[in-house]
Amino acid sequence: MKAIVDKSGCIACGLCVTNCPEVFRIGSDGLAEAYADVTGSLEASASEARDGCPVSVISLED
């Protein structure tokens, strides 16, 4: 599974990084990005990051 961040809407709150640092990080542009695939053990925390994003710009795709 892959995580996708629509950077155009990201407000750089950092919550996704807090919820799932194995997949999300703040990039050099100051906005969130997904830097790793969502493997099985990370699905729960990546889903939490998606659901917790205050502007709903995270999606997860198979």
Q: What does the DSSP 8-state code read for residue 50? A: H
Nearer to ligand SF4, 40 or 54 (CB): 54
Task: Give the nearest distance from C-beta 39 to ligand SF4 in angstroms.
Answer: 19
Give the residues lining the site for ligand SF4 (CB under 6 A).
5, 10-16, 32, 53-55, 57-58
**19, 42, 62 from 24: Cα distances, Å:** 9, 11, 17
**Rounded distance between C-alpha atoms, residue 6 and residue 43, angstroms:** 19
Task: Give the nearest distance from C-beta 41 to ligand SF4 in angstroms.
Answer: 20
Residue with tokens 């889903």: 47
Task: Give the nearest distance from C-beta 62 to ligand SF4 in angstroms.
Answer: 20
